Amino acid sequence: MDLIPIARDIVLDHIPELVLVIDAHDRILDANLKLEKWLGKSKEEIIGRDPLEVFGAWPKFLNRILFATEETKQEIEISGKPPTTLELIVMPIFDEQTEALSGRVIVAHDITERKLLENHLSQLMQKLKEQAIRDPLTGVFNRRFFAEALDKEIAQATREQDTLSIVMLDMDHFKKINDTHGHPCGDEALQSLANFLLENSREGDIICRYGGEEFVILMPRASEADAYEKAEGWRREFGRKRFGSEARAFRVSFSAGVANFPKHGANGTALLRAADSALYQSKSHGRNQITLYKQMEQKNAN
């Protein structure tokens, strides 16, 4: 383990990583200049001491990794302002003749900047991913995401012999709102409806802006009766909201159609078609109402 002093200075003090050598008795045998500067302690303050005493702020990871009996690599974070992230490698040294542990070499590389960059890139990728599946105006899911989610939920419902329902709703007279009160008021109404649906839907429901003033809500494990009752509650509650200025305040209503899997469609396309048909029925009968697909079927049959 002993090194010629000149060789030690050349090797250890010119290594860009932090290097620590401890002996078989778990005492510090040597350290390089980089580690001295990083700790703010001279070699005289380090040699011969217990590492747990020298690295007082590090006991949590020291107890786990510093005294490893096989080569170990681990990333550790040291608290501070800002926190520091190190990539730590512990390499046990064994006596060639007795095979007894004679010490360890610990090499630590400061990877704080790399981790910050990785975290930044990860956040950026997550943001880009969210933008790809979110409607930019309302923040709810877009049509592309909904199509994928519907296929997945139908597949799961099929496996589990379960049910699901969808509610397709359309804001009533939206063009008139834009023409009379302006597009900013129209955008406000769309955003308000999206937030209202998010706040008043069940956990696990998927809210989507399907296009223009049209929204679709996917409700896993919901019966047609449950979905209808929920949609009717939305209609009544949202209809009480007021938009625009006090002098030109107005209310917004919506029409909706409800369809259920597997009763009204064996796949996503058929289910959406059924909900759209029920929505059309609501709009053609005066708007501001909810139509269950089976109700339309029964009425047509009569």
- Residue 279 near residue 265 (C-beta atoms within 8 A): no
For this structure, is 213 an active site residue?
A: yes
- Residue 55 near residue 22 (C-beta atoms within 8 A): no
| Dihedral sign computed on CA atoms, order 50, 51, 56, 58 | negative
Catalytic residue among 71, 96, 113, 213: 213
Residues with active-site annotation = 213
